[in-house]
Amino acid sequence: MLLLLQLPSARRMFKIMSNVSAHLATLKAHFKIIFTYRGMMLIQSVRLILLPLVLASAWLSIEKTAGNPYSDADYLLYYLMVPIILNLTDSRLVFRFPMAVRDGSLSRELLKPFPPLSGYALESIANNLIQLVYLLPFTMLAGYAVKDRLLLGHINMQLLLLVFIAVILGGLVRMLISGSISLVGFWLEDVTTLNLVLNGGIWALLGGMIVPVATFPDQIRKFAELLPYRYMLSFPIEIITGRLSTAEIWHGFSIIVFWACIFGLIMRLIWKRGLKVYSAYGG
């Protein structure tokens, strides 16, 4: 066994397996911690689903303009899916990391065998998955209440697989954007306002939170399709509606990967520069 571990390839494999075990243990710990706040998770689920239902009611109550590609059934399906996709692509990095810099706990995290940011990312994943347990029943009840007005015959396993890929990539991009903003916490004491502007307000307008991107005027829609915000919310739901061709879906995937690479490089650059200025005590 000792001879095998002396081989470079064996050492790398052992290190990978150790990191995987550490990440799984961290994820399990986050599940236990987050699940203790069941009341808060329930309230959060109600909050997540109320706004989309209000928006859906508003859009269904007004007269559709000429050229609007969405029918009433499309609007209902879209806003029913908003809380689910919104939750699955959510990221808590922007709230957790700056706090770790301020209270000095980042010093402790730097001693662990895996990068600190991965620990905060696992916390976000655990939170999102547990939140989904509370969110799904409310979504299913709302869907059952309007089932006669929904058109779901086009949904199949291939479409669901594409939606799954879109959600994973969209969540990755949002986490990288949130991570890039959170790392500014090396220099700024509070990044909340910066997050509200770059990862909140613009995202709500151009990501499809308030209005589906597909219903934007052509010039604004083409601009929004080039930005990363659409792919964190609207794009997966557009796939579910069945209105995107296969070519349009794969084109969307290519844009997501492009932005993931861009923000991955930005995060790496800020991280290296931030560590040079970081100093803290306590933790």
Residues 6 or more apart in contact with residue 170 via CB below 8 angstroms: 85, 89, 231, 232, 233, 235, 236, 256
Q: What is the pLDDT of residues 170-190, one digit of tens each?
A: 999 998 998 888 888 888 877
Q: What is the pLDDT of residues 58-82, one digit of tens each?
A: 666 666 666 677 777 888 888 888 8
Round the CA-based radius of gyration of the chain to a whole number and report it: 21
Going by pLDDT thresholds of 50, 70 and 90, the confidence category of residue 41 is low
- Identify which has the larger pLDDT, 63 or 214: 214
Rounded to two decimals, the pTM is: 0.81
What's the token pair of residue 267?
Answer: 């995060």
Could you tell me how many residues make up the chain? 283
Residue 11 has pLDDT above 60, yes or no: no
N-term to C-term CA, the chain: 38
Q: Which of 89-98, 134-143, 261-270 has the highest mean pLDDT?
A: 261-270
Instruction: Report the alpha-carbon distance of residue 34 to residue 120 in Å, rounded.
Output: 13
Question: Percent of the chain at pLDDT above 70?
Answer: 77
Q: Is 280 left (phi over 0), alpha (psi -120 to 50) or beta?
A: beta
Average pLDDT across the chain, whole number: 79
Q: What is the pLDDT of residues 220-263, one digit of tens each?
A: 899 999 999 999 999 999 999 888 889 999 999 999 999 999 99
**How many CA atoms does the CB half-sphere of 20 hold within 13 Å?**
6
Assess contact for 184 and 191: CB atoms under 8 A. yes
Domain ranges of the chain: 23-277
DSSP string, 53-120: HHHHHHHHHSPPPTT----HHHHHHHHHHHHHHHHHT---HHHHHHHHHHHSHHHHHTTSSS-HHHHH
- Identify which has the larger pLDDT, 98 or 11: 98
- Identify which has the larger pLDDT, 176 or 202: 176
Q: What is the pLDDT of residues 101-145, one digit of tens each?
A: 777 778 777 777 677 777 777 778 888 888 888 788 888 888 888
Instruction: Report the alpha-carbon distance of residue 230 to residue 67 in Å, rounded.
Output: 21
pLDDT of residue 30: 56
Residue 10 has pLDDT above 90, yes or no: no
Cβ atoms within 10 Å, residue 213: 23
Which range is least confidently modeled, 11-20, 182-191, 215-224, 259-268?
Answer: 11-20
Going by pLDDT thresholds of 50, 70 and 90, the confidence category of residue 283 is very low
What's the token pair of residue 108?
Answer: 């402790």
Which whole number is the average pLDDT over 266-272? 91
Instruction: Report the alpha-carbon distance of residue 205 to residue 211 in Å, rounded.
Output: 7
